[in-house]
């Protein structure tokens, strides 16, 4: 189910978005411009997610990290989502039975504040939440990221070959 901007509700003096379909332990897929950020819903409008070390404004938190370290944070879902689309995406429930909800939430809460290794292809925010829900760190974005990287390398190699060929032609014309 797609999440979006529902009517705000007042709870504890803090405005937040009404979460009709969210259940503790749900995986939240947030659609950023070039990638998906992932979080796990822990209840009461809050999520736990892996975020880069950042002294930047809240509007930039939860972005892809160029660092090899990240921090486990607990934030309001609306603050992590910002104006982006999001949805509940427990996509591996058919092939990997989820851990008990109490264990997922307890484990997520215990990790809040910890510094963790971060790597775009082996320890990213999707790996983090998948391990919390299923006990297995996995990411479908990795294949896409690697394909883009390989495509970029391939294009760069072809460009280098074309430039080399053009340089050789110029050299032969001058001779």
Classify residue 126 by burial, with Cβ atoms within 10 Å: 0-12, 13-18, 19+. Answer: buried
Q: Which one of 6, 34, 37, 92 is the catalytic residue? A: 37
User: How many Å apart are CA 61 and CA 52, to the nearest integer?
Assistant: 7
**Per this entry, what is the length of the chain?**
175
Q: Which residue in 96, 125, 127, 172 is the catalytic one?
A: 125
Q: What is the DSSP string of 20-42?
A: SS--TT-EEEEE-SSSEEEEEEE
Return the SS3 of 48.
Answer: strand
92 as an active site residue: the answer is: no
Burial of 27 (0-12, 13-18, 19+ CB in 10 A): buried
In the residue annotation, 49 being an active-site residue is answered as yes
User: How far apart are the C-alpha atoms of 108 and 80, rounded to whole Å?
Assistant: 16
Active site residue 37: yes
Q: Phi and psi for 99 in degrees, rounded to 5?
A: -70, 165
Which of 34, 49, 54, 56 is flagged as catalytic? 49
Q: Which residue is associated with the tokens 């822990």?
A: 42
Q: Which positions are annotated as active-site residues?
A: 37, 49, 125
């Amino acid at each position: 189910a797609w999440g979006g901007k529902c009517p705000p509700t007042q709870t504890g003096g803090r405005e937040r978005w009404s979460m009709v379909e969210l259940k503790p332990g749900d995986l939240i897929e947030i659609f950023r411009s070039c990638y998906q950020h992932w979080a796990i819903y822990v209840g009461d409008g809050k999520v736990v997610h892996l975020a880069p070390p950042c002294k930047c404004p809240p509007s930039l938190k939860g972005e892809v990290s160029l660092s090899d370290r990240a921090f486990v944070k607990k934030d309001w879902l609306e603050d992590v989502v910002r104006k982006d689309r999001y949805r509940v995406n427990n996509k591996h429930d058919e092939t990997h039975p989820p851990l008990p909800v109490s264990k997922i939430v307890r484990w997520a809460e215990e990790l809040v504040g910890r510094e963790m290794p971060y790597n775009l292809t082996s320890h990213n925010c999707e790996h983090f939440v998948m391990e919390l829900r299923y006990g297995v760190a996995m990411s479908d974005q990795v294949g896409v990221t690697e394909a883009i990287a390989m495509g970029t390398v391939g294009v760069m190699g072809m460009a280098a070959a074309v430039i080399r060929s053009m340089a050789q032609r110029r050299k032969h014309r001058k001779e």
